[in-house]
Chain A
Amino acid sequence: MKQVKKLAVILNTNQLGGAERSVVEQFHLFQDQIQCTFFVPDISGSPKALSEFIKQKGFQDPVSIPYPKFLYSFSRSDWYGLFLIPFLIPYLLVVLFQWNTLFKGFTSFYVNGSKASFPVFFWLTFFRKHIRMQWHFRDYPAPNFFKVINKCLSVAGLDRGIIDFHIIANSRSVEDALKKIFPLYPVDYVYNLAGELPLRSGDRPIRTIGVVSMIAPWKGIHNVLLMAGIYAEELSELGIERICFFGENIYQTNGPHKKYSDELQSLINKFNIENIEWRGVKKPESIFSEIDLLIHPSVSPEPFGRVILEAFSAGVPVISTGMGGAKELVSEGRALICHANHPKDLITKIEKIVRDHQSTSHRDKIAYQFSAELKSITKSQIAKFIRQS
């Protein structure tokens, strides 16, 4: 009888974001081979959307695990976060004792993101040695912070042999960054998966522009608004009727994103920017059946850019700043690349997409093919990790 592996997938958050969709989609491909249970941290915010998505994909209800909220700040900090360690350890130990019961019977652990990884790493080290831990980084590692952590682990003798540690990046760009920080551990990458999305008709005119991201400054939303304000006439001449923003501020930590939504609204009011719609969080199927063009305006390197892949799957043309891991998706003629913080370059690229129908069609075909091929590539990569676990 084929032995079904029992895998604990520990999520970073109780909110349904791109990273959560991706990991659920990944393991959905292997439901006949592994018994997968999702664990969701018990923090503020409703986990309803996430739970529903997990159940929709055929998995059992996710299990809530106790999780200290301040670990969010710790994991998002740079070197100064290290000063929190003496205060965190006692708190952590209390939580980790509670985990013993919850994780009984699982043969390997897949941790989706850094916030969950630290407690899991320590729990496995102290309570369950020689278990495989696969740490899937969903973002670039804070270099100074992780270098010091790596050093501390090495000094304490906790870095090797105690747990079977495997690091997974979500793009080659993140993989390169991780290899520099963790030279002694195996590091691989696997691209996120987009779900099945209805294909947009190429004959449909481009009327609605979409921006799909969390509301945070590094996502460059202000630049799209600025472009819309300065080049309102040009957008109108192109037949663009609206620019829709899908997403919200999903972080629960302090930072530059905290007042960003208010600043964006003030910018709209100050320059009388019209035809802007804030649509909140919507499912990808709903977003990509509505929009005709996706703008990905990030001003910082993106670890991946799942939304770009979703657009490719849905046959929606893409304009991206192509920074970081996103460059791996939008290169090879699959999308138009625009310069960050350059409203004129952005409107020039929009004009190109709208007016040059033939090139746009051709680009969309290449992009769609790429998204289809990626699914089988990702599947074989995840299969390898499961075999190794």
Chain B
Amino acid sequence: MLLLTTPDYLPKLGGLTSHTLNVEKVLKELGVEYELFQWNSYLDIIRYPKTKLAKFDYILNIHSGFNMFMPSNDAKVINFVNGAEMLFYSPSPMKKFVKVLTRKFGLRRMAHAYVNIFISEFTFKKTCSKGLRGDYSRDIIFPMMVDTSHHKLNLKSLNDPLKFICVARDVPHKNFAGAIYFCELLQEISGRPVEFITVTNKKFESSKIAIRSVINPSNEQRDKLLAEAHINLLFSLDHSHVGFFEGFGQIVQEAGCLGTPSLVLSTGGLPESVHDEDTGWVLNDLTETSIKNWWKGMNSEKYEKISRECYQHTIDSHDLKEWKKLFKTVLGK
């Protein structure tokens, strides 16, 4: 019997909700009996009845940041460590104070876990830098998996009007400004019209390029837009100092299974998600020189090759069935 804990679930949309739904799907396919517990604050976790906890053999935490508040029990704890929750930071001074104060306690809880699953080596090293003593018998690095059941290789031609897309929350570290700058510069150096599709909760504008802002679309609408775009942009910045970094970039795989490769910055776990010049591209920075050099090296043949590689790699290596195998091993089924 397994307790699955998460901070986000339907009807709230977002990466953690998708992650939770994907884990649920895998648990169902494995025939694992589970209960879902969605928490909104650490108080919800503290108040979870200890008597109820006793029936669980495993506790699987989607967001491991607050698992320290779970009353202690004999269940084997499995933590999914996505990234920024290990930075012990909050914009609220009070919450930040609490996080810093309880940091050692939280890390001790992680150290006593049965398995910690880190979605990237960057996330693992970051957590170790915050005080976790790594242990390779407990700490596993396993890339993010997504549902690729709707996969389709939507090949686009570079001869068509260029379309770039960015799907993310509108928060500073997602760097929509950087993506707009990229598109504007590319239009200038390529001499071709560029359309930038933003999928977020806000509208963007530019005097130089066409921006199509799609606010809070359904998953199907979002996938249609991802399939339509030539390249998915994810220029996330490392804002570890204020509690944000990109652990892996799940959207890279969500775009990949539709035949849309990604262009990312070399920050966080992104270079582990996108394999440079193989399944996409990784830029060291967003300077004019970098962007010009990238475009100089681009041609239709290369674009098609990378699109195909990206698609094949995603459906071969990033489908939920790999989580099924991982959980089978971890849960001993």
A residues with a Cβ closer than 8 A to B are 217, 222-223, 226, 229-231, 256, 259-260, 262-267, 270-272, 299, 339-345, 348
Contacts and interface: CB of A to CB of B under 8 A. Distances in A.
A271 B329 contact: yes
Contacts of A217: 134, 136
28 contacts: A217-B134, A217-B136, A223-B141, A226-B140, A226-B142, A230-B325, A230-B326, A231-B325, A256-B134, A259-B135, A263-B136, A263-B137, A267-B136, A271-B332, A339-B272, A339-B275, A340-B272, A341-B121, A341-B141, A341-B142, A343-B322, A344-B316, A344-B317, A344-B318, A344-B322, A345-B313, A345-B317, A348-B316
A226 B322 CA distance: 12
A266 B318 CA distance: 27
A223 B330 CA distance: 15
Interface string B115-141: 000001100000000000011110011
Nearest to B319: A344
Interface residues of B, number: 23
Contact of B329 (A230, A339, A344): A230
A266 B142 CA distance: 18
A348 B317 contact: yes
Q: Which 6 pairs of residues, A with B, have the shortest CB-CB distance?
A: A266-B137, A222-B136, A341-B141, A267-B137, A263-B136, A263-B137
Contacts of A344: 143, 316-318, 322
Contacts of A259: 135
A263 B135 contact: yes
A231 B120 CA distance: 20
B322 A264 contact: no
Contacts of B316: 344, 348
A342 to B, nearest CB: 6
Nearest to B318: A344
Which residue, of A262, A264, A340, A343, has the highest number of chain B Cβ atoms within 10 A? Answer: A343
B326 A341 contact: no
Which residue, of A230, A263, A270, A348, has the highest number of chain B Cβ atoms within 10 A? Answer: A230
Contacts of B142: 226, 341, 343
A264 B328 CA distance: 19
A93 B91 CA distance: 55
Contacts of B318: 344
Which residue, of B120, B137, B141, B317, has the highest number of chain A Cβ atoms within 10 A? Answer: B137
Given A230-B326, A230-B329, A342 B317 contact: yes
Contacts, number: 54
B171 to A, nearest CB: 27
Contacts of B120: 341
A256 B328 CA distance: 29
Contacts of B328: 230
A271 B317 contact: no
A280 B332 CA distance: 29
Nearest to A223: B141
Contacts of B272: 339-341
Interface in B5-29: none
A113 to B, nearest CB: 26
Which residue, of A222, A262, A344, has the highest number of chain B Cβ atoms within 10 A? Answer: A344
A223 B326 CA distance: 13
A223 B134 CA distance: 14
A1 B134 CA distance: 62
A32 B318 CA distance: 57
A178 B313 CA distance: 35
A110 to B, nearest CB: 36
A270 B272 CA distance: 27
B329 A229 contact: yes
Contacts of A340: 121, 272
Contacts of A343: 142, 322
Interface in B118-174: 120-121, 134-137, 140-143
Contacts of A264: 136-137
Contacts of A265: 137
A308 B209 CA distance: 49
Nearest to A221: B136
Contact of B143 (A231, A272, A341): A341
Nearest to B143: A342
Given A230-B328, A271-B329, A341-B143, 17 more contacts: A217-B136, A222-B136, A226-B142, A231-B325, A256-B134, A263-B135, A264-B136, A264-B137, A267-B137, A271-B330, A271-B332, A272-B332, A299-B121, A339-B272, A340-B121, A343-B142, A344-B317
Nearest to A225: B136
Nearest to A233: B325
Contacts of A348: 316-317
